[in-house]
Amino acid sequence: MLIVMKKQASAEEVRAVCEHIESLGLRPHPLPGAQRTAIGITGNQSTINQGTFEELSGVAEVIRVTKPYKLVSRDVKEDDTVIYFPGTNASIGGKNLAIMAGPCSIETREQAFAVAEQVAAAGAQFFRGGAYKPRTSPYAFQGLGEEALKIMVEIRDAFGLRIVTEALDHESLELVEKYADVIQIGARNMQNYTLLREAGRTRKPVLLKRGMASTLEELLMAAEYIMSEGNYQVILCERGIRTFVDHTRNTLDLSIVPAVQRLSHLPIIVDPSHGTGKRNKVVPLARAAVAVGADGLIIEVHHQPDKALSDGAQSIYPQQFAEMVGEVRQIARILHRDVPDGIQVEEVATLAKSK
Amino acid sequence: MLIVMKKQASAEEVRAVCEHIESLGLRPHPLPGAQRTAIGITGNQSTINQGTFEELSGVAEVIRVTKPYKLVSRDVKEDDTVIYFPGTNASIGGKNLAIMAGPCSIETREQAFAVAEQVAAAGAQFFRGGAYKPRTSPYAFQGLGEEALKIMVEIRDAFGLRIVTEALDHESLELVEKYADVIQIGARNMQNYTLLREAGRTRKPVLLKRGMASTLEELLMAAEYIMSEGNYQVILCERGIRTFVDHTRNTLDLSIVPAVQRLSHLPIIVDPSHGTGKRNKVVPLARAAVAVGADGLIIEVHHQPDKALSDGAQSIYPQQFAEMVGEVRQIARILHRDVPDGIQVEEVATLAKSK
Amino acid sequence: MLIVMKKQASAEEVRAVCEHIESLGLRPHPLPGAQRTAIGITGNQSTINQGTFEELSGVAEVIRVTKPYKLVSRDVKEDDTVIYFPGTNASIGGKNLAIMAGPCSIETREQAFAVAEQVAAAGAQFFRGGAYKPRTSPYAFQGLGEEALKIMVEIRDAFGLRIVTEALDHESLELVEKYADVIQIGARNMQNYTLLREAGRTRKPVLLKRGMASTLEELLMAAEYIMSEGNYQVILCERGIRTFVDHTRNTLDLSIVPAVQRLSHLPIIVDPSHGTGKRNKVVPLARAAVAVGADGLIIEVHHQPDKALSDGAQSIYPQQFAEMVGEVRQIARILHRDVPDGIQVEEVATLAKSK
Amino acid sequence: MLIVMKKQASAEEVRAVCEHIESLGLRPHPLPGAQRTAIGITGNQSTINQGTFEELSGVAEVIRVTKPYKLVSRDVKEDDTVIYFPGTNASIGGKNLAIMAGPCSIETREQAFAVAEQVAAAGAQFFRGGAYKPRTSPYAFQGLGEEALKIMVEIRDAFGLRIVTEALDHESLELVEKYADVIQIGARNMQNYTLLREAGRTRKPVLLKRGMASTLEELLMAAEYIMSEGNYQVILCERGIRTFVDHTRNTLDLSIVPAVQRLSHLPIIVDPSHGTGKRNKVVPLARAAVAVGADGLIIEVHHQPDKALSDGAQSIYPQQFAEMVGEVRQIARILHRDVPDGIQVEEVATLAKSK
C-alpha cells in the first residue's frame, strides 16, 4: 500500500502517518519527491483498513499496489533517484553520467595506482577494483581481500575517486562497507537474498548487477529486497545476459535501460566489459549504452591487460578509455547530459606525490 | 581458395585467371578492392593444384581458406562494400548512414503517401513497406501484393526514395526484383536456401535479416549463399534475437555490428522496430545502433499506428521519426559519418503535386 | 468459427452446412470425430452472422474461436488424429509408436540398402533419408536429389518401409510428393509459409519439424497453415531448440510433447539425433521421448557413421538402434502402447533378393 | 595434479603420499575406487615438481589435470559415487533410484504429516520440505525456519524418511546440518561460493541444484567448490534452465544427465516440478527423467495444492505421485535399476501412532 501525502503536508503530518503505520506492526518508508512525499508500506498488510489512512491529516490518496515491486516503482516515487557523493563532482542518476573504471582485480599497489591515475585524468569519478572475486574455479585467484580495500582507500585519498568494489558475503560486506563508497553485489549473487538484506541494512549505496538469466521483474525485486530494509540508494547495472550467441561472452541487453526508466526511479548503468567479454567490442557498446540513455558506465581498464590475473581479454587500455570518454561525453551532450572533465594531469601528479 | 592479384595486375590478367578457373569446372568471383583485385573460387576444389595458379601472370598470392565463409570475408575483400544508387544521395555502407523508413504494410495509396512524404522530409533515403507479409497466422492480413509494389513505384517517382520490400518466394521475388530497388529477405527465410540462391541470381541489392536464433556464422553463411550465385550487393540486418527476456519482443544484439565489421566487408544495418517490438524503445535503440557503428537503420513509421493492419505497437509517429533522425545525425558526426538532409517540405509538396 | 454438429446429424446435413459456408465465400473443413462431426471455417469471417448457422439442420452449437489456431485444436477435433498407411503395419498417432530411421543423406544405393535392411529388421516402419539437404554452407554436399528418391522407392519395394524425406522448395516438393510417403518440412522452413501452403495442397502426410526458436504457438500455427489448405495429415516433430547450453548441439524440449497433446489432436514425434547432436546421447533421449509420451521417434542410423557425408557425429550404429528399439518397446508397453516387431531376417533377405 | 596409486598400494603408502602433499602446503584428497586409490591435490601447484611424486612408494602415475574440474571428474575417480544412509533402504547413485517427495514449504505439522504419510507409503525414501524459502519477493512467505526443521525430524522418526531441505546462508546452513540428512543448495545459490565452501565443511551430503543459466562446466565447478573443502558427498540436480519457451516455467534439460555421467562420478537426479512448473507435466517428465538414466527424482507433492503457500501450481496430488512411482519403477527395471517398495499402510499407521 502507498500513502500519497498532499503537496502542502507538513513534516509533522508525515511523521504522524509513519507512526500510525508502525503502530500496526508495519514498516513505513517515507520517500520525499520534488512536489510531495509518498510513504510506502511494507509488511503483511492483509488486515489493513484502507479507510483509516484516508482519514489521517495531510493524506491525499491511498493506493493499493498490485505490482510485486513497490519501493523501486515510479508509482511510489515519481522523480529520478540521484545519489550524491558530497565533496566530489560524482553523482549517479542526475545530469552527469557516472563513469566507473579500473582493473578487474586489485593485484598490487603499483598496478592499482597506475590504472587509477590514468582513469582519473580521463574523466572517471569512480574507481572500481576487485578485492573479493567470485571465480568459477575454487583454484583461481580469489582477490587480495582487505589488503586490496586498503589500497583503494589510498587511491581515493590520492585522486579523489570514489571506490566501488564487490562484497560476496557477510564478512566481506562488513569490510567493503567500512572502506568503500559503493557496495557492489555481483550478478551471481543477484538472488542471494540474505546478502541483499544485509546490504539493505548498510548505509552505503549499493550497485546491483543483473543476473545472467534475470528478467526485468526479478532485477527490480532484488532491488526491492535491499530497499525493504531501508537502504534506498540502489543503482542497477546491466552486464549482459546468457543467450545462444557465441560472438560475445554475454549478450548486452540495452533495451532494459529504457524499460527500467519507465518503471523505476532508480538509476541504471551499463557494464560493456562483462557484457561483451571482448576488448574490441567494449568501446562501441559503451557508446551505445550512453546513446540509449544509461546513467553511467562501469569499465574494466588495465595498463597491461595481457598480464592481468583475471578478465584480461575484456580490459581496455587506458588510452582507449580516454578516447572512449571523449566520445561518450559528446553523445551525452546530445541527450542534454554531460561527463565532467577529468582531473588535470599536473593535478594528478601533485595528488599522487602528496601521499 | 582465393587468388590475390598483384596491385599492378591488368584487367586482362584478371580475366585470364577467371577463365582458367572456369576451365576447371569452378566459378570465379572477381572482387575489386581499392588497391588490388582478389578472385574467390567456389565449387568443389578438392582436386585443385594450388601451384598452377601461382604461376599465372599477375597473381600475387594463393590462399587456402579454412573458414566456412569465403566471399563475405574481409580476407577476400579488405575494403568495405558500399552500395550506391545512381542518381540519388542514397548509399549503404559508406560515409552516409542509410535511413530506411515506412509502414509495416502498404495498406492504401493514401496511407503510403502520407508516411512517405513525412519520412522523406525528415531525411530517409529509402522507403520500406510490406507488399507480401509473412504472418504467423494463415488468417491474418497477408499484404496487397503487386498492388503495393505499384504504389511504391509511385512513391519513388514522387519523392525520390529508393524502395525496400520483402520477397517471400519465387513468385514474389520476381515481382520485387522488377519493381523495387532493394530486395528484403526476412528473418524467417534466412535459411531458406532456395530463396537465397534465387536472390543471388537477381541484379538488385539484397537486404538479409538475421534469423531469430541465428549465430553470426550462420548469418554470414546465408549471405555467402547469395554471393555464391554472383550477387555481391548484400546488406546484413540485425533485428533482434529470441531470448528469455520478456520486456521486449526480441533482444536486440548490437554487439553483432562490430563483430560483423571485423569479419566481413558487407554493410550491416539495424532494425530497432522488430528488435524491441515497443514504440517507446525504438528511438533509444536507434540512437544506440548508430553509436555502436551501424551503417544504417530501418524503422517502422505509421501516421496512425493504432489503425495499422500489422505491427502498430512498434511503429513510431512521423514526428518521433523526425526527431530521431536529428539525434542520430549528431551521433553519426561524432563517428565521422553523416545523415544527409531530408527533402525540403516545399520540394516534397511540388513532387507530390507533380504526380 | 466452428460449427459443432449434433451426434445424430446425417452426412447430408453436414454437406448442407458445408455448402452454406461455401456460398458465403468461406472454406469449410469437416472434421469427423468418434462421436460427432465438427466443421471448422476459414477465411474472413468478420461479416458472418452466427445466428444463421444455429438455425441450420443438424447443428448443435456454434463456437467463436479466440485462439489463433483452429484446425489444429482439440476444440475442433477431440479425438487424436491417427495417420494410417494402408497395406502396412505403420501408423502415426495411434497405439503403436512410429519408428523412423535411416541415414542423414542418401549417399549411394549400397549405403541406403545396408542401413534399411538393418533398421527394418530392428522394427522401424519408416525409412528416412535425405535427398535434398538444407546445408549451412553453399559449398557442402547438397544431396543426390531425384536419384536418392528413386533409391528410396526401391527400399520401399524391398523392405516394406514407408519413405520419409525432406522437401525444400516448390521443385523438390513436387518430386517428394511423387515418390515418398511422408513429406518432411525441416526446422529451417517451419515458417516458410509458401512451402507450408504448398504442402497443404498435397495429399501426402506432412512431418513438420519445430523451428529452433519456435514457441509452441508458432509450431501449431505452422501446422495450421498446412491444414488451412485442406491437408489434415500433419505430424509435429520436436528436434531441439537453441539455448545457451553447450554440451549438446540443441536442447531437446521434451515438455512440448504433453503440451501439444493437451492443445492439439495432432501426433507428435521426437528426433533425438538432431536434438542432441551427439551419438552417445541419442539412445538415452530416445528412451526419455517415449517415456514422456511421444507418438514416435525419428533416428539417424548409419552403418559407417565416420564416413557419412553429413551428420556422422550424431548417427548411431544399426546395433545400437536395435537395442534402442528393444528398450523403447518395453517403455511403450508400460504406457499401454507398443512397437510392432521388425521384419524377420530371413524375410528381409527374401525381400531384398526378390528385387 | 592427480596421483594414481598402484592397485596393491597399502593404506600406509596412501597416507605417506598425503602427508608429503600437506608438507608442501597443499591439500590431499584421497578417493578410494573399486580397484585403486587416486589422490587429488588442490591448492597452488605451480611450483610442484611432478618427479618427486613419481618416486614415492606405491605411486603408479602422476597426471597433470588440464580440465578446470578435478575432484568431480571420472579421471580422478572412475567408479560411481554412491551415498548411503545407514539403517535405511535409502541410497543415492547406486542401483536403487532415490525418490524424494514432499511439499514446497512446510506450512503446518498437520500438512507435513499428511503428505509424508502418503509419499512414504508410495515409495519415497526421502522427505523434502522447505524451511527457508528463497522467494522473489521480500514480502512473500519465507518459510517457518527452525520450527519446520523440527517438524521434519518428527517425520523422520515417524516414517523413516531421510530429510532433504534447503539452506540459504550461514545461519540456516548450521541448522539444516544439525537437523536434516541432506543439505540442499538451491539454483539461485549455485554460484554463491561462500555458501558452497561452507557446505563443503559440513559432514552431510549436499544436493546441489543447477542454476537457471548454468552450463555443465559451471555446475561441475560448483560441485568442485564443495568437494575442495573435503565433503565428497555431492548430488547434482537438474531443475530446468531458462529459455525462450513459454509453455513451461523452465525448460528441463534431460540431456545433462548422460553428459554428467560421462564426465563425473557424482550422482545426478532430476526435479520435474520446478523443471516444468505445471502439474500436468510433472509425471510425464518424471518418467522421462528415469528413462534417460537419472539416479533419482525430487517431486513436489501436496495434499491440497490449491491451498499451498508456495508453488501450488506445480505440486502433484499424493495419488498422482503413487501412480508415478509405479510407472518409474517399471521403467527403472528396464534399465536394470529399481525403486524399493514403500512402507506398508498398516506399518505407517503404527509408526505414526507410536509417536
Per-residue pLDDT tens over the stretch B167-216:
999 999 999 999 999 999 999 999 999 999 999 999 999 999 999 999 99
- Cβ-nearest to D253 among C251, C280, C284: C251
Best mutation target among A69, A239, A241, A255 (most B Cβ atoms within 10 Å) is A255
Interface test with B, best of C185, C192, C226 (most B CBs within 10 A): C192
Cβ neighbors of A169 (< 8 A, separation 6 or more) are: A195, D170, D192, D194, D195
Q: Which of A244, A253, A258 sits opposite B245 (nearest CB)?
A: A253
The residue whose grid cell reads 495499422 is B308
pLDDT at residue C355 above 50?
A: no
Q: Which of C245, C254, C292 is nearest to C272 (CA)?
A: C254
Q: Read off the pLDDT of each residue in B9-19 and give the average, rounded to a whole number.
A: 91
Q: How far is A211 from chain C (nearest CA, A)?
A: 15
Which of B69, B188, B193 comes nearest C168 by C-beta?
A: B193
Q: How far apart are the first and last CA of chain A?
A: 52
Those residues of chain D whose CB sits closer than 8 Å to some CB in chain C are 213, 215-216, 241, 243-248, 251-259, 262, 275-276, 280-281, 284-285, 287-293, 327, 330-331, 334-335
pLDDT tens digits, D13-32 = 999 999 988 888 888 888 87
Q: Where are the beta strands (DSSP E) in chain A?
A: 2-5, 27-32, 37-42, 59-63, 83-84, 91-92, 98-102, 126-128, 162-166, 182-185, 206-209, 234-238, 268-270, 296-300
| Chain B partners within 8 Å of C169 (Cβ) | 170, 192, 194-195
> Using a CB-CB distance cutoff of 8 angstroms, which residues of chain A are in contact with residue D189?
191-192
Picking from B42, B166, B169 by the largest number of C CB atoms within 10 A of its own CB, the best residue to mutate is B169
**B307-344 pLDDT tens trace:** 777 777 899 999 999 999 999 999 999 999 999 888 76
- Please tell me which residue of chain C has the smallest CA distance to D213: C244
Mutate to test the interface with D, among B212, B243, B244 (most CBs of D within 10 A): B244
Look at D167 and D55; give whichever has higher pLDDT: D167
Which chains share 3+ C-beta pairs under 8 angstroms with C?
Answer: A, B, D
Report CB contact under 8 Å: C139, B197: no
- CB-based contact D136 A221, cutoff 8 Å: yes
Over residues C27-80, the pLDDT tens digits come to 888 877 777 788 878 776 655 666 678 778 888 877 765 567 889 998 889 999
Domains in chain D, start-ordered, CATH in brackets? 2-63 (3.30.70.1140), 83-354 (3.20.20.70)
DSSP of B235-260, one letter per residue? EEEE--B--S--SSSSB--TTHHHHH
Question: Collapsing DSSP states into helix, strand and coil, what is residue D270?
Answer: strand
Closest CA of chain C from B110, distance in Å = 24
Beta bridge partners of C40: C2, C29
DSSP secondary structure string, A95-147? SBPEEEEE-SB---HHHHHHHHHHHHHHT-SEEE-BSS---SSTTS----THH
Query: Phi and psi of C275, rounded to 5°?
Result: -65, -20
Confidence band (pLDDT; 50, 70, 90) for B355?
A: very low
State how far the Cα of B207 lies from the Cα of B167, in Å rounded to an integer. Answer: 10
What burial class does residue A340 get, using C-beta atoms within 10 Å of its C-beta: 0-12 exposed, 13-18 middle, 19+ buried?
Answer: middle
Which alpha helices (H) appear in C35-190, and where do they start and end? 50-54, 109-122, 146-159, 170-179
Average pLDDT over residues C158-182: 97
- Cα D260 from chain centre: 13
The pLDDT tens digits of the residues spanning D57-94 come to 888 878 765 567 889 998 889 999 999 998 888 999 99
Sign (positive or negative) of CA dihedral A178, A181, A186, A191: positive
Interface contact flag, B68 C170, Cβ < 8 Å: no
How far D213 CA sits from the closest chain C CA (Å)? 8
Rounded-to-5 percentages of helix, strand, coil across chain D: 40, 20, 40
What is this structure's pTM? 0.86
The closest CB to that of C252, out of D255, D262, D287, belongs to D255
3-class SS at B130? strand
Residues of A in contact with C244 (CB under 8 A): 242-244
Q: How far is D239 from chain C (nearest CA, A)?
A: 13
SS3 D59: strand
Tell if the CB–CB gap between C213 and B218 is shorter than 8 Å: no
Q: Tens of pLDDT along D161-185? A: 999 999 999 999 999 999 999 999 9
Tens-place pLDDT, residues A184-225: 999 999 999 999 999 999 999 999 999 999 999 999 999 999
Asked if D215 lies within 8 A of C285 by C-beta distance, the reply is: no
CA-CA distance, A6 to C92, in Å (whole number)?
69
ipTM, interface predicted TM-score of the complex: 0.85
Q: What is the pLDDT of residue B312?
A: 78
Which residues in chain D have their CB less than 8 angstroms from residue C275's CB? 255
Paired with C105 in beta bridges are C130
User: What does the alpha-carbon distance between residue D102 and residue C22 come to, in Å, rounded to a whole number?
Assistant: 57
Q: Are the Cβ atoms of D225 and A189 closer than 8 angstroms?
A: no
Of C136, C211, C218, nearest to B218 by CB-CB distance is C136
Contact check, Cβ <8 Å, B193/C68: no
Question: In this structure, is the dihedral angle defined by the CA atoms of residues C280, C281, C284 and C290, taken in order, positive or negative?
Answer: negative
Q: Is C90 exposed, middle or buried (0-12, 13-18, 19+ CB in 10 A)?
A: buried
Considering only CB atoms, which chain C residues are within 8 Å of D329?
none
Chain A: residue whose CA lies nearest to C246: A244
| A107 backbone dihedrals φ, ψ, rounded to 5° | -105, -45
Q: What is the mean pLDDT of residues A176-186?
A: 98
Provide, as residue numbers in chain D, all residues whose Cβ is less than 8 Å from the Cβ of C239.
none
Mean pLDDT of all residues in B247-269: 97
